[in-house]
């Protein structure tokens, strides 16, 4: 996937997903990096951890593919 398309996709996700931060690295342009902030004001709930793990395993790859980022997936 061309770098311009990667950056366009990353910017779209950052504009629409408020709890995740997406980026690519110049040293590893074939990798998509995702950071997630997990709130823990009263402690981390087991349900939060399950939700995030499920999202990263199932939901995120589908979101990437549907929004034209399939070239980022392996």
Give the pair of three-digit tokens for residue 57: 């395993």
- HEC string of the chain? CCHHHHHHHHHHHHHHCCCEEEEECCCCCCCEEEEECCCCECECCHHHHHHHHHHHHHHHHHHHHHCCCHHHCC
- What pLDDT was estimated at residue 38? 67
Q: Are 10 and 24 in contact (CB under 8 A)?
A: yes
- 74 residues of the chain, pLDDT tens digit each: 788 888 888 788 767 765 677 777 788 777 777 777 766 667 777 887 888 778 777 777 777 777 777 676 66
Query: Residue 21's beta-bridge partner residues?
Result: 35
- What pLDDT was estimated at residue 28? 78
- What pLDDT was estimated at residue 49? 80
């Amino acid at each position: 996937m061309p770098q311009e398309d990667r950056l366009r996709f990353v910017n779209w996700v950052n504009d629409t997903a408020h709890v995740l931060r997406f980026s690519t690295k110049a040293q590893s342009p074939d990798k998509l990096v995702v950071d997630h902030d997990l709130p823990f004001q009263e402690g981390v709930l087991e349900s939060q951890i399950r939700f995030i793990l499920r999202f990263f395993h199932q939901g995120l790859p589908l979101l990437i593919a549907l929004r034209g980022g399939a070239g980022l997936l392996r």
